[in-house]
Structure formats: C-alpha cells, structure tokens
Chains A and B, each alone.
Chain A
C-alpha cells in the first residue's frame, strides 16, 4: 500500500527537478532570514544564485549539532515566533537541549510523512495503533500520533512507561500496531512473560521501531518474541522527528527517505567529501520544505549508505541502509572503532542470551578497557562453573574475532542492567574526557 502515490512514485527525473526548485527556495530563504546562514555563506563566498544544479549543494557549508546548541533556543528559526505552532526539543544529555520549531505547514508535512511511513510499514485505517513513544518535548509521541490519525487508524496515546498497564491495554483494546523504541518492545515482552501474558497471541501484527540503532539480530529477536513484523523507522528531531524515512514492509531492505522533503548525501566524516552511492559514511540531510527551522547539510552523525536503485515496492525515493550506529555512539577502544550494535549482533548470535547488555568503558592507566556485561538467565545458567566460563570465553572470543578488540565479559544477575522505557542506555563511558 502507498499513501501518496503521486509523490512516492514520482519518476526520479521529476523528483530531482522538484528537489532543485525547493533547494533553491530554501537557500534563498535561509540566506535572507537566518543570520547564521548568511554569515557562513558569506564566509564561504557562496550566494544563493550559485546553486544551479543539485550537485551545487556540496558547495554549501555543513550545519552541525553544535551550531544548533550555539543558537539556543531560537537562533536558527527562519520565521517569526508567531508563525511557530509547536516547539520540541531533543533530550540534551549533555548540556542544553536542541530546540526545533514547526510552522503550521511543517506540522502538516510531518503528519503527511508519518502517514506515508506508517502505510509503508503496513498500517492502515482500522488499525489500533498503540503509541508508546514518549509524548512531550521528545518528537516521537506527537509525531507518530498525528501521522497515525491521518491514515485513519485509532490511536492509543500511551506514551512511555507503566509497562504493566501498557500490556493490559494491549490485551483489552486489541492493539494491532505498536510504536516505540526497539528495546522497549523487548522489555514489554519480558514483563509480559513475568505476568504470564502470552504476548505472541495478542492482535499485534506490526511494530514500528525507531529512535535508537538496532541490529538485524535484534529485529529477529523482536519478531520471534512478539510474533510481529518489526519495521525500522528513521528520524531525528533536528530534521523533523520520526518519519524522515521508513522501511517498506514489501522489501524490508533499507529505509526510504522522503526525497520531496529532504536531500540526503553521504560524506566521509573525516574529510567532509561527498561519497558516491553505495559507500558507507555519515548521512547529511538538507531540508527543502521546512519553514520553522530549515537546515542546510545537517550532519546527522548517523553512519549508513545510500542507494537510488528501484525498490520492489514501487517507491522511487532513495533508501538508506539500516543504521550501523551513530558516529557519536561509536567507541574508540585502544584505536579500534566499535559500535554497540556490532557487539549486540555477537551476543544475539549466541543461543539463549537475553537482549540485555551494557558496555562499560574505563581507562586503566593509559589503556582503555571494555567490559561487556551480560545477564545470565535460565537458558544460559548452569550449576557448573566451567559452563558459565565457557560462555564468557565464547563471547570474548567472538567479539575479538569480529571486532578485533579484547574485552572482559562479566556475567551478571537478571534485571541488574537497568531497563529503559525510552532509549536504552547501552554504553557507560567512564573514561576521563579529553580536554
């Protein structure tokens, strides 16, 4: 099913000429209204009129997350506040949050993109969408909510937390679609098991999961444990919120980015050079329809690759590969790049391991140490020490083989790793910050 056939299947030539027109308008608009952009374009000697083709995009400077922080709270807004109808902010784990404002048309476009995404994920009118993304400053809850209403589904605005109640509502209301973070879906399954609720037999058929990177193994785990299709949705608050991209249920092979609203590029994160399609690098997005806070070449820090190959679903919009991690989630341990998602795939490949783990990084003298904490459950427990030691040796060896990094494996008691009701906290980095 396709929500907006005209735009979602637009031939690439028409799509690209639409992108160019919208890009030119956006560049003119930010140059005229946002001092930050006027200044940085001037520094680079760029005028809006220089943008004659889509390739000229690479002549423009990047926008960094730090630029958003520096403009806190409203410095990057391109319209007066009286035209802003909604304000969201990112979680801001370090210091001030980043603030985003939406005009009425931005909300309309966002709603449209989430509607497209949910339909691509297999949801439709008649579905009962159980929305367990947090409502509030976080874009997840309201973003998913509006799109779900737009397609005519019945939305249950659960928000996060209160897991037992979520399960009761799921059972009693007959939820068919679950929207939350992937780690929370597994937590729901775990609590369901404790409560003797057979979550597999509920009416749920699809889960639309995002807001944190998750591995293919974790997808299989979720699909088995909840007996649903698990679909990956992409978004980030700086650009929009959920619904920047979605995996189609037909292919489940890459996430379509709504290119009539965004231009994606992949760059080498070290040099800033644009990479050809198919190469892995950092995703950079330019918004071309946003009014409230248009961003030029925003560096998402998400690592992926891009393809414009046709997809079996019929959509013509480019796809990004499922994220292998965010460049700022990447740990550098004794010079080796490690993504938590890579360790996750090692763990999930071992029979009986529960999806709860945490990585602890410390500095011991000059040396970084990585400890992988894994919970021991019935399936992996044994009354014999050698069996448990065999398990930790296997984990250590598999991680070493795959990632080339040596770690300590620590088996811990069930539930000793904190459960998240939002984004899972996989990494605790206790190394002193470089000054």
Chain B
C-alpha cells in the first residue's frame, strides 16, 4: 500500500530544479507527482516517479543528497468535502500528518492525496478501518 517517495535536498540557487528534472528526463524517468517545500536557504523536492530505484541511483551519481520515504496515496472523491472527511478520521485516531500534497487523476473523477505520516502503519490501519480507499503503490507510480 505504501509508495516510495524520493526526496532531494536542493539549495536555493537558480537552475537547480531544472538540473534534477533534466537528469530524470535523460534517464527516461517519469515524474508522477511532486511537491517542493522551501525555506529561505534550501528546499526539499519530493517526487513520486515511475522508477524510484533508478531515480535514486542516477541522482546519487550526480552527487545529490537523496532519500526514500514511504508515503501513502489516497483517492478522494473530487467533490466538496472529500478531503475534509479523511482529515477528520485521522484526527479522531490521533494520527499526525507531517505533510501532504495532491494531484488529480487522469480520469478526473478522483483527486489523489499523498500523505506523509509520522507512523505510516498506524495511519494505514486508521484509514482502512474507516473505509478510506488507499491506492496500491503501483497504481500511483503508473498513473
């Protein structure tokens, strides 16, 4: 159920993002979803790609600091209140969200939310119990 997310440390310097995406492109790696957390000095680029092992390898070769984190993807009905009910469920189970980002599925029926939890397993249990649909990893990486 978990998805591998690649995180990359990026200094706030012009052209760095383009370098990362360039490396991925040259190696035929497709980006499925991304989010950039930034501070005044640095940013953390988080990516879901179709081949995370390969992405890790090629970025490391280019001397980037990279790590892999387990996140989960949840399909949320693309209608008002969709996200709200999921967050309420998490709150009721005392599960903390470290961060999240969203994108819309190609078919357009569902939004996909990527969640990073402190304790992934606990979060999965809480969501499953409440009938929330967690997307299998391969489904997200092949969107």
Contacts and interface: CB of A to CB of B under 8 A. Distances in A.
Say whether A associates with B: yes
Interface of A: 376-378, 381-385, 388-389, 410-416
A384 B35 CA distance: 12
A204 B69 CA distance: 38
30 contacts: A376-B9, A378-B65, A381-B7, A381-B65, A381-B66, A382-B67, A383-B5, A383-B7, A383-B44, A383-B67, A383-B69, A383-B116, A384-B44, A384-B99, A384-B116, A385-B39, A385-B44, A388-B9, A388-B42, A388-B44, A411-B9, A412-B11, A412-B42, A413-B9, A413-B16, A413-B65, A414-B64, A414-B65, A415-B63, A416-B11
A378 B59 CA distance: 13
Nearest to A383: B7
A408 to B, nearest CB: 9
Nearest to A412: B11
Contacts of A410: 41
Given A385-B39, A411-B42, 11 more contacts: A376-B42, A377-B65, A378-B65, A381-B7, A381-B9, A383-B67, A384-B99, A388-B9, A389-B39, A413-B16, A416-B11
A161 B115 CA distance: 47
A134 B37 CA distance: 44
Range of interface residues on B (Cβ < 8 Å): 20 to 34
Contacts of A415: 63
B10 interface: yes
Contacts of B16: 413
B26 interface: no
A317 to B, nearest CB: 46
A411 B46 contact: no
A415 B65 CA distance: 10
Nearest to B37: A385
A413 B39 CA distance: 14
B11 A413 contact: yes
A362 to B, nearest CB: 15
Contacts of A377: 65
A383 B7 CA distance: 6
A383 B67 CA distance: 7
Contacts of A382: 7, 67
User: Which of A382, A383, A384 is packed against the most chain B CB atoms within 10 Å?
Assistant: A383
Contact of A411 (B37, B41, B64): B41
B35 to A, nearest CB: 10
B67 A381 contact: yes
B46 A383 contact: yes
Contacts of B99: 384
Interface in B82-115: 98-99
Contacts of B69: 383
Interface string B24-39: 0000000000000101
Interface string B61-77: 00111110100000000
Contacts of A414: 63-65
B72 to A, nearest CB: 14
Contact of B10 (A378, A383, A389, A413): A413
User: Which of B7, B10, B42, B67 is packed against the most chain A CB atoms within 10 Å?
Assistant: B42
